[in-house]
Amino acid sequence: MEKEVMSSLKMAGNILCSASSFIRKCIFGVLRVGPIPNHIAFIMDGNRRYAKKQKLSHDGAAGGGGRYDAGFWALMVMLLYCQELGVKYITAYAFSIDNFKRKPEEVESLMTSMLEKFHLLDILVKLLAVRVHFAGNLELLSNELRASAMELTEATAAYSKSVLTICIAYTSRDEILHAVRESCEQKRIDLEFGNDDDDEIKLMKVEKNMYMAVAPDPDIIIRTGGENRLSNFLLWQSCWSHLHSMWVLWPEIGVWNLVFAILNFQRNKTYCLDMKKKEKEL
Amino acid sequence: MPFSLHFSPTPLITAPSPLSKPFFLVPYYHTLYAPKSPPCSSTEHALTHQGKQEAFDRRPEDSQTLPLGLRRDAMPSHVAVIMDGNRRWARLRDLPVRSGYEAGVESLRKIVEICCKWGIKVLSVFAFSSDNWFRPKVEVEFLMSLFERGMQEDTGIFFRENIRISVIGDLTKLPKALQELMVNLEEATKNNTRFQLIVVVSYSGHYDVVQACQRLALKAKCGLIEPSDINVSLMEQELETNCTEFPHPDLLIRTSGEFRISNFMLWQLAYTELFFAQSLWPDFGEAEFLKALLAFQQRQRRYGV
């Protein structure tokens, strides 16, 4: 009797999954009639509030799962949906340089969690043929974490279906400063060796030296957690991006949030593309 | 909308200011202010026979009460505005585009007046961006003449109200007469301290960073600095917003319902609270500004931590 009930429940579950998968495919099909963003960036805000709601501690007791586990899986789910939709570039703001100012035990817990997740990410991205790139001042990370990140970057360098950029030890101002320093250094060398007699540094030169040079500018920047600010994320690249803020906490983000964000983007796309082209002409 | 801006009950505005008058002549008819605090000993002294003159000369914002709900201690020091929607405003009324711009100027005058009243120190307005040069020539020429006319007409007000004017952007692309006017006005008002209006013209955030980079590269070429020495402080000294004590806007307001930065002050907006208003710029008045400020004051700013 029990086995029959379990079997019926399992069948009902499968039917529901298939039905929701079918509905999702239909919705995605409708979305693809309009322009699909080439690059979506996520500010993954709300993990701590979610953990507080679920009463998760640093080490993940009382709830089964680390504090940031749910956030990691939310990113993987978003990656899957974006791939299905045809979004080629996905960027996620995982850890800001400003986050180093948090309590040391929290930072350590986050670093440990990230190291664990890199191993898991290694398996998942190879299954999905996703190229992984890390943007940020990796010198600020521990040797182990940095080595793990470089290993993952090299292991996935050949994949081209989609590109996942994880911003870690990153702030946009630090990125711009890095690009400015590199541009000034290159200009000085060029002038010294007579490779260039023009004092001017062009916009393209600065852009080439950004950590985010691997990806085009984001079409949409989605921020969860209800705040309406960029928090030092992709300032240079966000000039024409559609900014979308949502109240849902990052671990709770779902397919409908993504669909709504893309629908909003589709209303504004043409203007943004025109402006990008014109700025390049200037 | 998931944006869900923090709305509060709209205060009653009983007498709208006539469009044609310069802002400083607009009577203060606004109601629904927070009740004044009971007189304390210093106020009593000010109201005595000898103190009456002092009270009369006291700056308006020191004793001016704020609308209900606004806290003076939580007012943003620097507010930036992307004044979007002037052309749409005109099209909706079957008016020529120039009417939209003129209405936009009046709206700006009102907001400047309100900023002075409510103790905001700096207001930056995105008057003309680098990509606006692509607009029809007639429209661009009209805008240039509008800037010239507006600055000439309001010069007296700037001096009388102790307002400092700063102009940032690539001014080399502007007509010579306008360039001269702007530079002279900046110089003449540089010692004014009550309020600073930063007019952002022929500007883009990318241009600002690149010109700062070029200046730093020149210093590196001359041996004044090493490229590796370039840090936040050196960078900010070279950005166009080095003209103000508060270079980073606390609040950015964009009107007309568009959700983007449009290449405005990219470096400076790192921790700025963003507020997207649905109304078009000429319709953006005290009520909408109050909503934006109330929303700002309710936000928890963590500065990335």
Q: Is residue B33 part of a domain?
A: no
Higher pLDDT, B132 or A193: B132
Instruction: Tell me the C-alpha distance between A63 and A84, whole Å.
Output: 31
Q: What is the pLDDT of residues A98-131, one digit of tens each?
A: 999 999 998 998 899 999 899 889 999 988 999 9
CATH code assigned at B188: 3.40.1180.10
User: What pLDDT does A199 receive?
Assistant: 63
User: What pLDDT does A194 receive?
Assistant: 75
**What percent of chain B is modeled with pLDDT above 90?**
73
Report residue A272's pLDDT band, with 50, 70 and 90 as the boundaries.
low
Contact A228 B273 (CB under 8 A): yes
Q: What is the pLDDT of residues B199-225, one digit of tens each?
A: 999 999 999 999 999 999 889 888 899
Q: Mutating which of B84, B210, B303 best tests the A interface, going by the most A Cβ atoms within 10 A?
A: B210
Q: Is residue B256 part of a domain?
A: yes
Q: Is residue B8 part of a domain?
A: no
User: What pLDDT does A189 receive?
Assistant: 84
Structural domain including B107 reads 71-297
Q: If contacts are CB pairs under 8 Å, which of residues 211-230 in chain A contact chain B?
A: 226-230
Instruction: Tell me the C-alpha distance between B91 and B28, whole Å.
Output: 31
What average pLDDT does this structure show over A170-184?
94
What average pLDDT does this structure show over A193-211?
79
- Stated as kind and residue range, the H or E segment containing B124 is strand B122-129
Residue among A202, A235, A257 whose CB faces B267 most closely: A235
**Whether pLDDT at B74 is above 70:** yes
CB atoms within 10 A of CB B102: 20
Tell me which chain A residues have a C-beta less than 8 angstroms from the C-beta of B3. 228, 245
What average pLDDT does this structure show over B258-277?
95
What average pLDDT does this structure show over B143-165?
95
Report residue A213's pLDDT band, with 50, 70 and 90 as the boundaries.
very high
Q: Is residue B58 part of a domain?
A: no
**Does B224 contact chain A (CB < 8 Å)?**
no
Report residue A13's pLDDT band, with 50, 70 and 90 as the boundaries.
confident
Residue among B220, B231, B262 whose CB faces A239 most closely: B262
Q: Is residue B303 part of a domain?
A: no
Q: Is residue B50 part of a domain?
A: no
Q: Average model confidence (pLDDT) for chain B?
A: 83
Instruction: Tell me the C-alpha distance between A228 and B300, whole Å.
Output: 11
Contact A243 B259 (CB under 8 A): yes
CB atoms within 10 A of CB A171: 22
Contact A187 B305 (CB under 8 A): no
Contact B4 A247 (CB under 8 A): yes
Contact B3 A228 (CB under 8 A): yes
Q: Is residue B1 part of a domain?
A: no
Instruction: Tell me the C-alpha distance between B280 and B253, whole Å.
Output: 12
User: What pLDDT does A15 receive?
Assistant: 75
Instruction: Tell me the C-alpha distance between A122 and B64, whole Å.
Output: 61
Contact A241 B261 (CB under 8 A): yes
Instruction: Tell me the C-alpha distance between A139 and A169, whole Å.
Output: 9
Q: What is the pLDDT of residues B25-51, one digit of tens each?
A: 333 333 333 333 343 344 444 344 444
Q: What is the pLDDT of residues A82-100, one digit of tens each?
A: 999 999 999 999 999 999 9
**Whether pLDDT at B12 is above 60:** no
User: What pLDDT does B177 receive?
Assistant: 95
Strand partners, A222: A42, A244
Q: Mutating which of B230, B248, B296 best tests the A interface, going by the most A Cβ atoms within 10 A?
A: B230
**Does B134 contact chain A (CB < 8 Å)?**
yes
Distance from the first to the final alpha carbon of chain A: 75
Tell me which chain A residues have a C-beta less than 8 angstroms from the C-beta of B134. 278
Residue B8: exposure state from Cβ atoms within 10 A (0-12, 13-18, ≥19): middle
Q: What is the pLDDT of residues B89-128, one digit of tens each?
A: 999 999 999 999 999 999 999 999 999 999 999 999 999 9
What average pLDDT does this structure show over A250-273?
86
Our count of domains for chain B comes to 1
Q: What ipTM was predicted for this assembly?
A: 0.87
**Does A10 contact chain B (CB < 8 Å)?**
no
Contact B210 A206 (CB under 8 A): yes
Report residue B262's pLDDT band, with 50, 70 and 90 as the boundaries.
very high
Q: Mutating which of B254, B261, B262 best tests the A interface, going by the most A Cβ atoms within 10 A?
A: B261
Tell me which chain B residues have a C-beta less than 8 angstroms from the C-beta of A218. none
**Does A112 contact chain B (CB < 8 Å)?**
no
Report residue A196's pLDDT band, with 50, 70 and 90 as the boundaries.
low
Least confident of A277-281, B72-76, B289-293: A277-281
Residue among A176, A226, A239 whose CB faces B263 most closely: A239
